[in-house]
Amino acid sequence: MKKYHHIFICLMVIFLVVICFPFFPLSAADTKIAPTAKPGSGKIHVTADRLIIDQVTGCAEFTGNVKTVRKTTVVTSDRLEIFYKKSVKAGKKETAANESISRIVATGNVEIIFDNEFAKTDRAVYAVKTETLVLSGNSSVTRENTFVTGAKIIIYVADGRIKVDSSDKKPVKVIFSQEELSGN
């Protein structure tokens, strides 16, 4: 059984990623990216050049050409780290089933395609407990005819709010159509 423990942990981490990416839905036109992951199937398809799982630090790291597809959402990056916390119960051995994801960090050329939105950033951090997605670095989000850039963009997934912060060298910029202002 111990021989298969590491394989089981790897499969559990990939399964748990499925649970943590529901906030990224993509357009039907983008489903050609991963033909094995059918829109709406709920399965996740992760490809990368390398996967390292470190049980001591509680981190699974995908590196090199990382692409994650779930339902109609696509996330690409140079690196994706999944941090999980272990819940230890007195008198019981710890198993992969007792592990849960605390945050997901994508770095390097991060692109997220979901619904009618496209996000591009240097770094994206999703905190599971607070349901927030923080884009930092050279970040932008495009939704239909609206385009916003900033040094830091926080997307509150639960209620759909977005907060955009500037930096000393980079102001917040927004481009939108007049029709969007008038509600037409």
Q: How far is residue 134's CA from residue 127's CA, in Å, rounded to a whole number?
A: 8
Say which residue, 46 or 154, is predicted with more confidence: 154
Task: Note the pLDDT tens digit of each residue in 7-26.
Answer: 444 444 444 443 344 444 33
Q: How far is residue 37's CA from residue 41's CA, in Å, rounded to a whole number?
A: 7
Instruction: Please state, rounded to an integer, the average pLDDT across all residues of the chain.
Output: 75
> What pLDDT, on the 0 to 100 scale, is given for residue 82?
87
> What pLDDT, on the 0 to 100 scale, is given for residue 28?
32
> What band does 167 get if pLDDT is binned at 50, 70 and 90?
confident
> What pLDDT, on the 0 to 100 scale, is given for residue 172?
93
> What pLDDT, on the 0 to 100 scale, is given for residue 143?
85
**Is 98's pLDDT higher than 80?**
no
* Alpha-carbon separation of residue 28 from 33, 74, 114 (angstroms): 10, 11, 10
Give 95's DSSP letter. -
> What pLDDT, on the 0 to 100 scale, is given for residue 183?
60
Map out the domains of the chain with their CATH numbers. 2-182 (2.60.450.10)
Which residue bears the tokens 């926080």? 154
Please answer whether residues 33 and 72 qualify as being in contact, where contact means their C-beta atoms are separated by less than 8 angstroms.
no
What are the backbone dihedrals phi and psi of residue 9, each rounded to the nearest 5 degrees, phi first? -60, -45
* Alpha-carbon separation of residue 117 from 30, 74, 110, 140, 142 (angstroms): 12, 11, 14, 10, 5
Pairing state of beta strands 146-156 and 132-143?
A: antiparallel
> What pLDDT, on the 0 to 100 scale, is given for residue 73?
79
Which residue bears the tokens 């111990």? 2
Give 41's DSSP letter. S
Q: Which helix (H) or strand (E) holds 136?
A: strand 132-143
Give mean pLDDT, residues 149-163.
90
Q: How far is residue 132's CA from residue 161's CA, in Å, rounded to a whole number?
A: 10
